[in-house]
């Protein structure tokens, strides 16, 4: 453990010194970076390295894997991809991310920020405050509010009954939809803020001249406005996807992954395997899969930023 | 033409209002339930409003200690993050070095990693280092988890401070750290406040990290101890839960209002993220 931590910074140091100036002066200039690098090596790089190691062992908190940890190669991954519960978790994570982030938060956030440009100030402030209010609430509190909202005796059913539709216990009947809606409620503010900032930089003249040329509302939106904020859309999609992939508290507090495993996304499955069932090795293998997915999205995001900057 | 404009404005207002009401409904529940002694799960204004729920939860075990723990935990972590982020941002923003670009790319890459996934190995690390159930260890991990984003934002804000003033100070013989303290920081305090407050708000709502790394009930922050309303007692008292939720939410709400009033914080953040 400690050896990995100590070995990593070494290659970086001589690099900084090779730029022509005296090596020592250059190093001293970079000295303020050390607290940040130290913390990130011990508490971020360390765990990730540990994760890569443990994922290939049978490490456990109890039983054989607790007494003597042995290297078992790809067995954890074989076990995962062969197990119905893991595949179920992957599917639920995909559905959850697609529904709540890519479709829900993204579209609603964009819609809200577009509508806000055309609305009166009072309405704009009211809606802005409500949406941001939902965002500022701590995760667990948001989970309780929405559990109450979706409950059999909750507000949603009262509203449905009022218009003559049948109600049901949504957390029981359609848990993944309920938690996805909850995540939309909680997270839309972020997309709304990103898009509001991006739209405020679109020059009014361009849209006005398109209007003069006879482009209607929708065509103006699709061919003029959206292309101009395409970079913000890309960034926003990446960031909310990454955030949504690792949502734990909201789902855990609302359903604990249930009923059964009907809302058990990857983070909840990992938690259950590693801690409720004490299979640390298997749990870290799942964590590694999540890290890999996150890393891929993060790299795409970086590439996007890089090409834009160049 | 003008009539059509008016119509589309009306339509926008109505659609926005409808969405706004959907967002407000769950929020109304917590407000009404907190002053209702017999609160249920639906939104209804109590027939006899009362502050009894607040009185019932305002005691050391339920509210004061968890909130105090949360302040120590999140305040400590946010400060540690900020100090490290400012120190790291200074050389990254001021000096050209071959090391800067790869470092910043790594930092940006780290902001994308799901911290949830690292929690299992972090727990393992904490067991080996004997840090499980210690405030110090949890503070260091929470600070690290928000460090990449904080470094990135702080560097963006620091880039906005012109370097010419410091160059004058350097000529006068001031050291880098002196220039940072007496010239750069005073000029970028709004940026510092934005990063600090956002870091704090994120930590205050964080449930998973303290849930995994802290065990003793007397060390748990408000984000985890709220869980004790459920569990062993069966059907929870919704009125008290709502009252407690409001108390727990209050600090971040105030900080957020401060941020958006004084600094246009959310929009600044939106701009910074958009890069």
Q: Which residues of A touch B101 (CB under 8 A)?
A: none
Q: Please indicate if any CB of chain A lies within 8 Å of the CB of B207.
A: yes
Domain match, A117 and A178 both: yes
Determine, yes or no, domain membership for A154: yes
CB within 8 Å: A193 and B118 = no
CB within 8 Å: B12 and A231 = no
Each residue of A209-257: pLDDT tens digit?
A: 877 777 777 788 888 888 888 888 888 888 888 889 889 889 998 888 8
The ipTM assigned to this model is 0.81
Last residue of a domain, one of A13, A33, A54: A54
**Closest A-chain CA to B13:** A119
Give how far B150 is from chain A: nearest CA, Å: 11
Contact in structure between B124 and A50 (CB atoms under 8 Å): yes
Determine, yes or no, domain membership for A136: yes
Give how far B152 is from chain A: nearest CA, Å: 12
Domain match, A239 and A280 both: yes
Q: Which of B9, B117, B147 sits opposite A118 (nearest CB)?
A: B9
Handedness of CA B89, B93, B94, B96 (dihedral sign): positive
Q: Which long-range contacts (CB under 8 A, 24 or more apart) does A236-239 make?
A: A236/A106, A236/A109, A236/A190, A236/A191, A236/A194, A236/A195, A237/A101, A237/A102, A237/A106, A238/A297, A238/A298, A238/A300, A238/A301, A238/A304, A238/B112, A239/A190, A239/A194, A239/A301, A239/B112, A239/B273
Tokens linked to B153: 């934002």
Q: Model pTM greater than 0.95?
A: no
Determine, yes or no, domain membership for A61: no
Domain match, A172 and A227 both: yes
Residue A131 burial (CB count, 10 A): 27
For the cut 50, the answer to whether the pLDDT of residue B272 exceeds it is: yes
Domain match, A20 and A151 both: no
Determine, yes or no, domain membership for A75: no
Domain match, A43 and A127 both: no
Determine, yes or no, domain membership for A74: no
Each residue of B245-260: pLDDT tens digit?
A: 888 888 888 888 887 7
Determine, yes or no, domain membership for A60: no
Domain match, A285 and A139 both: yes
Q: Please indicate if any CB of chain A lies within 8 Å of the CB of B84.
A: yes
From residue B37, how far is each of A260, B190, B228, B245, B254 by CA, in Å? 33, 43, 19, 15, 26
Tokens linked to A48: 């990730």
Each residue of A64-92: pLDDT tens digit?
A: 666 677 788 888 888 888 888 899 999 99
Find residue A57's DSSP bridge partners: A71
Determine, yes or no, domain membership for A72: no
The full set of domains in chain B, from first to last, is 1-50 (no CATH), 54-274 (1.10.3720.10)
Domain match, A112 and A29 both: no
Structural domain containing residue A155: 84-309
- In angstroms, rounded to a whole number, what is the distance separating the alpha carbons of residues B221 and B208? 11
Domain match, A30 and A130 both: no
Predicted pLDDT of residue B232: 52
Domain match, A117 and A265 both: yes
Domain match, A179 and A301 both: yes
Determine, yes or no, domain membership for A17: yes
For the cut 50, the answer to whether the pLDDT of residue B177 exceeds it is: yes
Indicate the number of domains in chain A.
2
Domain match, A175 and A298 both: yes
Across chain A, mean pLDDT equals 81
Each residue of B219-247: pLDDT tens digit?
A: 888 888 887 776 555 567 788 888 888 88
Q: Which of B256, B258, B268, B274 to mutate to test the interface with A (most CBs of A within 10 A)?
A: B274
Q: Which of B6, B91, B112 to mutate to test the interface with A (most CBs of A within 10 A)?
A: B112
User: Which CATH number covers residue A143?
Assistant: 1.10.3720.10
CB within 8 Å: A287 and B118 = yes
- In angstroms, rounded to a whole number, what is the distance separating the alpha carbons of residues A152 and A166? 11
Give how far A3 is from chain B: nearest CA, Å: 14
Q: What are phi and psi of B58, to 5 degrees?
A: -80, 75
CB within 8 Å: B16 and A112 = yes
Tokens linked to A175: 């848990």
Domain match, A180 and A288 both: yes
């Amino acid at each position: 453990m400690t050896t990995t931590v100590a070995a990593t910074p070494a290659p970086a140091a001589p690099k900084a010194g090779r730029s022509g100036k005296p090596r020592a002066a250059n190093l001293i200039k970079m000295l303020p970076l050390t607290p940040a690098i130290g913390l990130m090596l011990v508490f971020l790089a360390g765990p990730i390295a540990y994760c890569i190691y443990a994922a290939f062992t049978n490490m456990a908190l109890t039983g054989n894997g607790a007494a003597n940890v042995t290297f078992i190669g790809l067995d954890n991954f074989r076990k995962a991809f062969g197990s119905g519960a893991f595949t179920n978790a992957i599917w639920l994570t995909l559905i959850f991310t697609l529904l709540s982030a890519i479709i829900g938060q993204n579209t609603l956030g964009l819609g809200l920020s577009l509508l806000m440009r055309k609305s009166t100030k009072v309405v704009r402030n009211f809606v802005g405050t409500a949406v941001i209010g939902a965002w500022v609430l701590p995760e667990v509190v948001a989970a309780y509010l929405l559990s109450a909202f979706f409950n059999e005796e909750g507000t949603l059913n009262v509203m449905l009954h009022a218009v003559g539709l049948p109600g049901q216990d949504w957390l029981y009947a359609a848990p993944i939809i309920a938690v996805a809606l909850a995540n939309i409620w909680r997270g839309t503010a972020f997309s709304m803020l990103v898009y509001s900032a991006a739209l405020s930089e679109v020059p009014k003249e361009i849209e006005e001249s398109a209007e003069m040329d006879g482009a209607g509302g929708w065509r103006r939106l699709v061919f003029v406005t959206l292309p101009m904020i395409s970079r913000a859309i890309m960034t926003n999609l990446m960031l909310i996807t990454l955030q949504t992939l690792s949502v734990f508290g909201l789902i855990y507090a609302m359903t604990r992954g249930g009923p059964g495993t009907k809302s058990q996304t990857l983070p909840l499955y990992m938690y259950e395997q590693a801690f409720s069932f004490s299979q640390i090795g298997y749990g870290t293998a799942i964590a590694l899969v999540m890290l890999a997915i996150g890393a891929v999205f993060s790299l795409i995001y970086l590439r996007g930023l890089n090409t834009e900057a160049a | 033409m003008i009539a059509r404009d008016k119509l589309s404005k009306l339509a926008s207002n109505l659609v926005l209002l409808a969405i706004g009401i959907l967002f407000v409904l769950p929020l109304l529940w917590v407000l009404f339930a907190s002053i209702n002694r017999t609160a249920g799960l639906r939104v209804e204004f109590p027939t006899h409003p009362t502050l009894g729920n607040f009185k019932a939860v305002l005691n050391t075990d339920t509210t004061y200690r968890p909130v105090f723990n949360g302040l120590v935990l999140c305040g400590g972590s946010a400060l540690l993050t900020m100090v490290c982020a400012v120190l790291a941002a200074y050389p990254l923003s001021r000096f050209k070095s071959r090391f800067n670009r790869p470092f910043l790319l790594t930092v940006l890459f780290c902001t994308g990693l799901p911290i949830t996934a690292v929690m299992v190995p972090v727990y393992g690390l904490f067991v080996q280092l004997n840090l499980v159930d210690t405030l110090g260890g949890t503070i260091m991990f929470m600070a690290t988890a928000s460090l990449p984003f904080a470094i990135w934002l702080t560097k963006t804000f620091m880039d906005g401070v012109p370097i010419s003033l410091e160059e004058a100070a350097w000529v006068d013989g001031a050291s880098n750290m002196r220039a940072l303290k007496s010239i750069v920081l005073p000029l970028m305090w709004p940026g510092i406040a934005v990063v600090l407050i956002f870091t704090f708000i994120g930590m205050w709502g964080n449930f998973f990290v303290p849930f995994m790394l802290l065990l003793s009930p007397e060390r748990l922050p408000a984000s985890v101890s709220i869980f004790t309303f459920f569990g062993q007692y069966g059907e929870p008292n919704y009125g008290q839960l709502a009252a407690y939720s409001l108390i727990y939410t209050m600090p971040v709400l105030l900080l957020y209002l401060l941020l958006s009033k004084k600094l246009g914080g959310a929009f600044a953040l939106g701009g910074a993220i958009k890069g």
